[in-house]
């Protein structure tokens, strides 16, 4: 038995050879590409053993946090928006998508149209959102579901403060595709920056801020789910969102109503599922 010696050049080929038995062809493709790009990165930067171990420690710390720190890492390195761009090409007037982020929760409360998703009255500036959900032909999608979530005026999502659901809810559009609900006017806030992501942002001279926005996940039978934001026109950090999530088409006016509340309107357009 001849035992081969793998030079730094031949090692990548040997690792690729080892995974030739992968049964799932898609997994084989993804793993082969990952091995190639990972090895290319290592060959490019030539880490010392100490640097390599710093990297291992950093990944381990990222995985150990209770919250979804790897999602945040993906978001802050532009990877999530890249995945979004590769998958969701808005066309013929359908609404642009953006990142899911780490703050969506399953089973948010279901509300009747008009309800307020903020349970703490007097928290932040009251806000009314109205709009429609339509298809590419402009026809209303009756019964489309709109899952909305936002940070509070203090910059925190409910789950950053406890288990109780707040500032999130699911609404069903009426027969004409209309929806309306109340919330608090979104304010800018920092992504969680007391962990590895925060360390990375500080070390690379970046701020952790996201511009003011409402987050949406809109679904309807026969249509492609839409994950998107509405951003407040004139809000801070629109040009330097820590997660690269801003698209100009999603920036809208939040006007001041007669009663001092903010009001905004948006017509979402879904595309057909394939």
Q: Which of residues 159-218 bind its own copies (CB under 8 A)?
A: 200, 203-206
Which of 151, 220, 164 shows the shortest CA–CA distance to 192? 151
Sign of CA dihedral 206, 209, 214, 216: positive
Nearer to its own copies, 53 or 255 (CB): 53
Q: How far is the CB of 33 from its own copies (least distance, A)?
A: 5
Q: How far is the CB of 264 from its own copies (least distance, A)?
A: 17
Residues 54-83 close enough to bind its own copies by CB under 8 A: 56, 59-64, 68-71, 74, 77-83
Nearer to its own copies, 45 or 114 (CB): 45
Nearer to its own copies, 1 or 112 (CB): 1
Residue 273 found at the interface with its own copies (CB under 8 A): no
- # binding residues, its own copies (CB under 8 A): 79
Residue 252 found at the interface with its own copies (CB under 8 A): no
Token reading at 17: 């050879």
Cβ contacts of 35 within 8 Å, gap of 6 or more: 12, 15, 16, 19
Residues 93-132 close enough to bind its own copies by CB under 8 A: 100
H-only helix segments in the chain: 8-18, 25-45, 49-64, 69-76, 79-87, 196-203
Residue pointed to by tokens 């031949």: 10
Residue 259 found at the interface with its own copies (CB under 8 A): no
Residue 34 found at the interface with its own copies (CB under 8 A): yes
Residue 274 found at the interface with its own copies (CB under 8 A): no
Residues 8-27 close enough to bind its own copies by CB under 8 A: 8, 11-12, 14-15, 18-24, 27
Cα–Cα distance list, 248 to 51, 86, 145, 234, 251 (Å):
39, 18, 24, 12, 6
List 109, 194, 240, 273, residue binding its own copies (CB under 8 A): 240
Taking contact as CB under 8 A, which single stretch among the options 43-51, 134-142, 159-167, 180-188 is the one that binds its own copies?
A: 43-51
Q: How far is the CB of 270 from its own copies (least distance, A)?
A: 16
Q: Inter-axis angle of helices 69-76 and 49-64, to 10 degrees?
A: 120
Cβ contacts of 55 within 8 Å, gap of 6 or more: 47
Q: Which helix (H) or strand (E) is 228 found in, with range?
A: strand 226-232
- Give the pairing type, strands 251-252 and 226-232: parallel
Q: How far is the CB of 26 from its own copies (least distance, A)?
A: 8
Q: How far is the CB of 142 from its own copies (least distance, A)?
A: 26
């Amino acid at each position: 038995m001849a035992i081969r010696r793998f030079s730094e050049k031949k090692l990548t080929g040997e690792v690729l050879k080892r995974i030739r038995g992968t049964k799932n062809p898609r997994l084989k493709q993804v793993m082969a590409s990952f091995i190639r790009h990972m090895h290319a990165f290592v060959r490019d930067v030539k880490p010392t053993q100490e640097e390599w171990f710093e990297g291992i420690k950093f990944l381990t710390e990222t995985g150990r946090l209770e919250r979804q720190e790897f999602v945040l890492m993906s978001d802050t390195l532009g990877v999530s928006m890249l995945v979004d761009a590769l998958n969701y090409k808005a066309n013929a007037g359908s609404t642009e998508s953006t990142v899911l982020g780490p703050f969506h929760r399953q089973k948010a409360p279901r509300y009747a149209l008009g309800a307020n998703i903020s349970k703490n009255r007097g928290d932040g500036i009251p806000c009314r959102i109205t709009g429609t959900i339509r298809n590419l032909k402009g026809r209303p999608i009756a019964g489309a579901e709109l899952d909305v979530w936002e940070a509070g005026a203090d910059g925190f999502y409910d789950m950053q403060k406890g288990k109780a659901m707040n500032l999130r809810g699911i609404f069903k559009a009426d027969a004409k595709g209309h929806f309306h609900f109340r919330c608090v006017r979104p304010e800018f806030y920092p992504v969680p920056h007391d962990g590895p992501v925060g360390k990375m942002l500080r070390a690379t001279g970046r701020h952790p801020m996201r511009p003011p926005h409402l987050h949406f996940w809109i679904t309807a039978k026969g249509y492609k789910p839409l994950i998107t934001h509405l951003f407040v026109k004139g809000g801070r950090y629109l040009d330097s969102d820590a997660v690269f999530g801003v698209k100009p088409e999603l920036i809208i006016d939040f006007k001041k109503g007669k009663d001092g509340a903010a009001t905004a309107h948006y017509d979402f357009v879904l595309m057909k599922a394939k």
